[in-house]
Structure 1
Amino acid sequence: MYDERLAAATKPFNARGAKVIRCKQCQIAEQYCICEHQPAGRSDFAVLLLVSDAEILKPSNTGRLILDTVEEGYAFPWHRTEPNKELLALLNDKTYQPVVIFPEDYVDDKARLIQPQQFQPPGGKKLLFIFLDGSWREARRMFRKSPYLDGYPVCSIKPETLSSYMMRKSEHEDHLATAEVASIVFEQFGAAYTSKVLAQWFSVFRESYMLSKTRFSSDLSRPALNNFIGLIKNANSV
């Protein structure tokens, strides 16, 4: 998706920090690349990312971190008028139960709202969590302008802490990065290990990303990365 969007660009894409030589995969400065530490996904659910056009090329995007930590994941660029045919086929696959992740305050039909602890997919279907990956303004537009999502249940989360996302500033301090939202969702649906792996992988990404920013004081000992390595080693030894 990244390569396709880059090929379609009519002018060079210059994100903040464009002078940094980045790893193509993790989008972190090459000397701090984290690819060798990417976790092996363990999950009995699937994830679908709908990614806004503005988000696809941003190196600070955290949605792709979710796909690093789950066994089955999909990502599609969001189009208002012409949704991807493969996307629609996935949503219509009877083996999945799609659940849209979005704040309840913006859901007009409250009957769509579900509680994670009480929700059981019918017929043993696999949960397919749908995350709208974009700025808060973009995500609201995606939710309103995607009629193919209208019939699916919606899960809303209420974070207890403010976002620890530092790479970009949101207009609202309590808005979370997409990876932070997913970590909370996974925990609420009983996937504690995947939630913890994603939360720590997000911390590794944030820590490593910030190392190339000279205006921030960074810890070159990389404690978040070391904690993550310890988590994975402990899990593999069990």
Structure 2
Amino acid sequence: MTYPAHAPHAVSLLRSARLARSSKPFLARGGPRGERCAGCRLLPSHCICALCPAVPVHAGVCLLMADIEPLKPSNTGWLVADVVADTFAFGWARTEVNPALLALLADPQWQPYLVFPGEFVDSARVVTDVQPADGQDGKRPLFVLLDATWPEARKMFRKSPYLDKLPVLSLQSDQLSSYQLRRSQRDEHFCTSEVAALCLALAGEAHAAQVLEAYLDVFTNHYLRAKQQLPVDMEDAAHQRLKGLAHPC
């Protein structure tokens, strides 16, 4: 069953804009054309729109997305936008930058942090802690995530001079990625929603982080079950954990 889609969020709008620029249709693997739910990108039989969680989040997320990331059904930046109300999404291009992105990074209500491994950055820029979401200076943390494959993310980092003045948040986690839909060559490379959850936890928003983690588990379950043409068990551990953490949108 396909549930009514929620109001389009930033990633959904970016996806629509990217599709409008395409000279040919984007054909995702996993089903015939037109068979995916507009609200969650899954096959209608495995739709998760009714499970989209509602949770208050004070921090913000800015997704700087490689060209076709918004089009991929497996992209987890979409899940971040489902959970974090103040999610902004911009397409990345080497030769130009969206003025709205520059305005966001300069907005005094936000303290931006570029999230990237510290081993590739001048140590003077690296931080491992962030201002809490309810910080005394009145600024809210804004986590800038490069939503791309690892080779693409490194290119984006090198060729985006407007990011050079931002502090670089280097995540220090011993957790190994459990994302099963697209594998990195290194287990410690997290998918976008895993990174966002770690950032929320650092900002003191542990509950929101847990909700996002649980939502990713449910999304992965539905995605893989659809790919394998298997029914979903709505009472399994992943669904029960999400249900216990958050109310539906």
- Settle same-fold status: TM greater than 0.5: yes
What's the CA shift for 1:189? 2.2
- Please say if residues 59 and 203 of structure 2, whose CA atoms lie closer than 8 Å, have aligned partners that are also in contact: no
- Please say if residues 40 and 71 of structure 1, whose CA atoms lie closer than 8 Å, have aligned partners that are also in contact: no
Q: Which residue of 2 aligns with 1:193?
A: 207
2:54 equivalent to 1:40: yes
Gaps of 5+ in 2: 1-13
The number of equivalent residue pairs is 232
Paired with 2:84 and 2:225, the residues of 1 have a C-alpha distance of 26
- Report the more deviating stretch, 9-18 or 41-50: 9-18
Letter in 2 for 1:12: P
Paired with 1:63 and 1:110, the residues of 2 have a C-alpha distance of 28
- Report the more deviating stretch, 112-121 or 202-211: 112-121
- Please say if residues 112 and 143 of structure 2, whose CA atoms lie closer than 8 Å, have aligned partners that are also in contact: yes
Q: Which residue of 2 aligns with 1:110?
A: 123
Change (3 A) 1:118 1:23: closer
Q: Which residue of 1 aligns with 2:186?
A: 172
Change (3 A) 1:123 1:189: closer
1:10 aligns with one of 23, 28, 36: 23
Letter in 1 for 2:32: K
RMSD of the TM alignment (CA)?
2.2
1:28 aligns with one of 25, 34, 42: 42
Paired with 1:116 and 1:99, the residues of 2 have a C-alpha distance of 10
- Please say if residues 197 and 212 of structure 2, whose CA atoms lie closer than 8 Å, have aligned partners that are also in contact: yes
Equivalent positions of 1:211-230 (< 5 A) are 211-214=225-228, 220-221=233-234, 223=236, 224-230=238-244
Change (3 A) 1:75 1:28: same
List per-residue Cα deviations over 1:118-172 (Å, max 9, x = no partner). Answer: 7897832121110110111111111111111100111111332321111112222
Equivalent positions of 1:44-59 (< 5 A) are 44-59=58-73
- Please say if residues 210 and 218 of structure 1, whose CA atoms lie closer than 8 Å, have aligned partners that are also in contact: no
Paired with 1:105 and 1:158, the residues of 2 have a C-alpha distance of 11
Letter in 2 for 1:15: A
- Report the more deviating stretch, 131-140 or 185-194: 185-194
Provide the secondary structure at the position in 2 that maps to 1:105: helix
List per-residue Cα deviations over 1:173-218 (Å, max 9, x = no partner). Answer: 3221110111112112211011001000111111111111128x77
Paired with 1:65 and 1:131, the residues of 2 have a C-alpha distance of 13
